[in-house]
């Protein structure tokens, strides 16, 4: 039986080969595990090894390399010192990037913690990428992609945030996305549009009151007062339709905003068209024995308004039946925002509504333009021409702006078009009449009607 106080070769622990050999120290495998624990504790994964160039050194290098590799620690260099060499060559160590060296032999290290990493740690908000070379310990860092986060160091991959969340600036954690719509509380545009809508509604109601008060005067009667009343009410309701576009969209407001405005505005366009047609009929009816006399009265304009408005009603009913508008959440158009908007459902129906209003406006414009030279005592064709020119200009400019925007900006463009076109019609057709009614009363008499037409 033999007892040793210094032999640490693991083979001496084989009880078959050395049944009577005992030692007072543990074998080298325990040392290797302790070294690995120390390296892991400090986060070192890029080391060098110095060992002797003999059988024991080869064994130590082989067993230590296996232990290191099993824990993800890489070896940058190995220096084996021959028995005949008395002095360590420091050139290889000085060229190395690692500052941690494992020495298998004792070595001193009308005083400070050394650096033992091939690469710096990847901070939170980034992930590893494969570096040059074949060592897994050498890598680079890259920031997480848009919509992804990593909350730890040396992350292998970033995690994608849920659809209703977005990374913070550091890309460390996901935060809830903010909701984006034309809000009464947060958007100045909503307050401005509300004020303008109420203001123009009040002005329209005031003009309607003036026309009702002076309903039997020549100017009001000469321009078909019934059509004027319907037109003013339609314009007033069109201004109020703006409130369907403001605030958080829901299914019912999405269904009503386009169709309600389309129907109401089509009534207004039909009234203007009827006014324009009646101007031409009234002028031709003044000729002796004219065929057009039988079309004078309220039947023709009423039929025009009813038929033209009914077409828009049918389009809206088909729209609701086939593919009605609905509320949707757009989570991907803008970073960090969920856009609450109205999906128009059938795009074809949406453009049919707009196109039909444009058709009515174009027909009114053409007829009014052709009749603009008729005596003013019979018509308001030139004023309708100007109003339709304003309407067409506004909506032609609106369409590309509408298609190139999203979210609340798209809604703001349409609201602006509604306010601008309605106010253009109101101003061009009715402001000059109110001026004559209130300030030039001598022109609003039968004897002054011709004089008014020439002024």
Statement: residue 94 has pLDDT above 90? no
Same domain, 168 and 65: no
Q: What is the Cα 159 distance to its own chain's centre?
A: 23
Q: What pLDDT score was predicted for residue 420?
A: 92
Statement: residue 105 has pLDDT above 60? no
- Residue carrying structure tokens 């001598």: 442
Same domain, 192 and 79: no
Same domain, 302 and 439: yes
Whether residue 112 is contained in a domain is answered as no
Q: What pLDDT score was predicted for residue 449?
A: 46
Helix (H, G, I), strand (E, B) or coil at 372: coil
Q: What pLDDT score was predicted for residue 378?
A: 47
Q: What pLDDT score was predicted for residue 124?
A: 92
Q: What pLDDT score was predicted for residue 363?
A: 87
Q: What is the pLDDT of residues 42-82, one digit of tens each?
A: 889 988 888 888 887 888 888 888 889 998 899 888 888 88
Q: What pLDDT score was predicted for residue 111?
A: 31
Helices (H), 214-298: 218-222, 225-240, 242-245, 251-285
Whether residue 205 is contained in a domain is answered as yes
- Residue 71 lies in domain: 2-103
Q: What pLDDT score was predicted for residue 453?
A: 41
Q: What pLDDT score was predicted for residue 284?
A: 72
Q: What is the CATH number of the domain that holds 204?
A: 1.20.1070.10
- Residue carrying structure tokens 């064994």: 59
Whether residue 437 is contained in a domain is answered as yes
Q: What's the CA angle centered on 280, arms 275 and 284, to 5 degrees?
A: 140
More confident residue, 85 or 63: 63
Whether residue 395 is contained in a domain is answered as yes
Q: What is the pLDDT of residues 300-328, one digit of tens each?
A: 888 889 999 999 999 999 999 999 999 99
Q: What pLDDT score was predicted for residue 422?
A: 92
Q: What pLDDT score was predicted for residue 106?
A: 47
Question: What is the rounded end-to-end Cα distance, in angstroms, of the chain?
Answer: 137
Same domain, 338 and 406: yes
Give DSSP secondary structure letters for 73-133.
-EEEEEEEE-TT--S---HHHHH-S---EEESS-------PPP--SSPPPPTTEEEEE-SS
Q: What pLDDT score was predicted for residue 455?
A: 33
Length of the chain: 455
Percent of the chain predicted with pLDDT > 70:
82
More confident residue, 408 or 297: 408
Whether residue 181 is contained in a domain is answered as no
Same domain, 321 and 439: yes
Q: What pLDDT score was predicted for residue 143?
A: 93
Torsion of CA 84, 89, 92, 93, to 10 degrees: 120
Q: Give the pLDDT mean for 15-29.
A: 58
Same domain, 343 and 432: yes
Tally Cβ neighbours within 10 Å of residue 245. 23
Domain boundary among 88, 103, 118: 103
Whether residue 113 is contained in a domain is answered as no
Maximum distance among all Cα pairs of the chain, rounded to whole angstroms? 148
Domain boundary among 53, 72, 103: 103
Q: What is the CATH number of the domain that holds 10?
A: 3.40.50.2300
Q: What is the pLDDT of residues 211-241, one digit of tens each?
A: 999 888 888 877 678 888 999 999 999 999 9
Q: What pLDDT score was predicted for residue 223?
A: 65
More confident residue, 117 or 343: 343
Statement: residue 292 has pLDDT above 60? yes
Statement: residue 194 has pLDDT above 90? yes
Q: Are 60 and 102 contacting, i.e. CB atoms less than 8 angstroms apart?
A: no
Integer Cα distance of 77 and 421 in angstroms: 80
More confident residue, 365 or 210: 210
Task: Label residue 273 by pLDDT band (50, 70, 90).
Answer: confident
Same domain, 325 and 204: yes
Same domain, 287 and 388: yes
Whether residue 325 is contained in a domain is answered as yes
Q: What pLDDT score was predicted for residue 439?
A: 86
Q: What is the pLDDT of residues 241-262, one digit of tens each?
A: 999 999 899 999 998 988 998 9
Q: What value does the mean pLDDT of the chain take?
A: 81
Q: What is the pLDDT of residues 334-379, one digit of tens each?
A: 778 888 988 888 889 988 998 898 888 888 888 878 776 666 554 5
Q: What is the pLDDT of residues 412-437, one digit of tens each?
A: 998 999 999 999 989 988 888 888 88
Task: Label residue 203 by pLDDT band (50, 70, 90).
Answer: very high
Confidence (pTM): 0.68
Task: Label residue 108 by pLDDT band (50, 70, 90).
Answer: very low
Q: What pLDDT score was predicted for residue 236?
A: 94
Q: What pLDDT score was predicted for residue 28?
A: 62
Looking at the structure of the chain, the number of domains it has is: 3
Tally Cβ neighbours within 10 Å of residue 152. 10
Whether residue 351 is contained in a domain is answered as yes
Give DSSP secondary structure letters for 138-198.
-EEEEEPPTTEE--STT-SSPEEPPTTEEE-TTSSSEEEPEEES--TTT-HHHHHHHHHHH
Same domain, 141 and 36: no
Integer Cα distance of 12 and 21 in angstroms: 7
Task: Locate 85 and state its tokens.
Answer: 């060499």
Q: What pLDDT score was predicted for residue 112?
A: 46
Statement: residue 161 has pLDDT above 60? yes
Statement: residue 7 has pLDDT above 60? no
């Amino acid at each position: 039986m033999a007892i040793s106080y210094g032999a640490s070769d693991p083979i001496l622990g084989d009880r078959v080969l050395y049944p009577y050999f005992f030692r007072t120290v543990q074998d080298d495998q325990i040392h290797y595990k302790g070294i690995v624990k120390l390296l892991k504790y400090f986060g070192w994964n890029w080391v060098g090894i110095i060992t002797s160039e003999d059988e024991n050194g080869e064994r130590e290098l082989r067993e230590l390399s296996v232990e290191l590799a099993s824990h993800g620690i890489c070896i940058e260099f190995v220096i084996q010192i021959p028995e005949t060499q008395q002095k360590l060559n420091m050139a290889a160590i000085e060229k190395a990037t690692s500052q941690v060296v494992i020495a298998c032999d004792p070595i001193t290290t009308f005083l400070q913690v050394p650096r033992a990493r091939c690469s710096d740690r990847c901070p939170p908000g980034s992930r590893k990428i494969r570096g040059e070379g074949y060592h897994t310990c050498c890598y680079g860092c890259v920031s997480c992609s848009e919509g992804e986060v990593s909350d730890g160091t040396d992350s292998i991959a970033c995690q994608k945030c849920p659809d209703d969340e977005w990374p913070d600036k550091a890309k460390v954690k996901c935060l809830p996305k903010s909701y984006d719509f034309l809000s009464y509380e947060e958007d100045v545009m909503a307050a401005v549009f509300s004020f303008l809508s109420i203001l123009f509604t009040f002005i329209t109601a005031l003009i309607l009151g003036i026309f009702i008060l002076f309903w039997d005067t020549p100017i009001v009667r000469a321009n078909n007062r019934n059509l004027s009343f319907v037109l003013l009410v339609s314009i007033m309701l069109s201004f109020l339709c703006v409130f369907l576009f403001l605030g958080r969209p829901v299914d019912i407001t999405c269904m009503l905003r386009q169709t309600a405005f389309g129907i109401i505005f089509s009534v207004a366009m039909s009234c203007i068209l009827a006014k324009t047609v009646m101007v031409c009929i009234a002028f031709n009816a003044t000729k002796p024995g004219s065929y057009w006399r039988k079309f004078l009265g309220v039947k023709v304009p009423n039929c025009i308004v009813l038929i033209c408005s009914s077409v828009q009603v049918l389009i809206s009913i088909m729209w609701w039946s086939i593919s009605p508008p609905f509320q949707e959440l757009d989570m991907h158009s803008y970073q960090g925002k969920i856009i609450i908007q109205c999906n128009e459902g059938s795009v074809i129906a949406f453009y049919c509504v707009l196109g039909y209003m444009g058709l009515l406006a174009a027909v009114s414009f053409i007829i009014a333009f052709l009749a603009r030279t008729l005596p003013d005592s019979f018509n308001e064709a030139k004023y309708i021409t100007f109003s339709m020119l304003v309407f067409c200009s506004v909506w032609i400019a609106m369409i590309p702006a509408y298609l190139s925007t999203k979210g609340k900006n798209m809604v703001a463009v349409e609201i602006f078009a509604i306010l601008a076109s309605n106010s253009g019609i109101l101003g061009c057709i009715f402001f000059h009449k109110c001026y004559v009614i209130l300030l030039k009363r001598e022109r609003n008499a039968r004897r002054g009607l011709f004089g008014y037409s020439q002024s």
